[in-house]
Amino acid sequence: MTPANPYGGPRSVALKQPSFARTILTYAVCILIAVILAATVRYFLIEPYRIPTGSMLPTIQLDDMVLANKLVYKVGGKPKYKDVVVFKDPTGQYSQLIKRVIAVGGDTVDLRDGYVYVNDQKLDEPYTHGKLSEPLSSSIQFPLRVPDGDIWVMGDNRTNSADSRLFGPISVSTVYGRAWWTYWPLKHFGALK
């Protein structure tokens, strides 16, 4: 029985401090949970990427850091026209590249007089800032039908971009995710368009 408190209530009892080992264990469990959550987010949801080339200038600057939504294409979505995607570099020069989707499987791409046509419609591409789109490889013949399951990608900096004009269509299976936000440096912080 707890002795009576002279002020009318039960007497307070001092709480026992947790042991040093218990404190360390608690911190270790918290750190482990944080690491598991971070790895889950990075592997399944959002991953940061550094831009290795100037092929997307001025939309994205060289060495900018962007976030890519990895879940969007894993849950049934497919890359669509104007998406900015991060994908495995088919040339092997870089681990990944970032380009804009210009056409998807079943579309026909043509380059005429420096302009891009998809399904015989000239594209309105303000993000290129008037730079012309010339062929980069004599092995790719235009017009070209993009195979089902593939996409045609091009950099916004058309006069300085190794893209599908050089290596052809890429498989959707090589796409890591859709880039949607620049987070570093802070002066470029914001949504990608």
Active site residues: 55, 99
Residue keyed to tokens 């669509």: 80
Give the start-end residues of each E strand in 27-95: 46-50, 65-69, 84-88
Cβ pair 89, 53 in contact under 8 A: no
Count CB atoms within 10 A of the CB of residue 63. Answer: 12
CB-hemisphere CA count at 13 Å for 124?
A: 0
d(CA 123, CA 36): 44
Question: Maximum CA pair distance of the chain?
Answer: 97
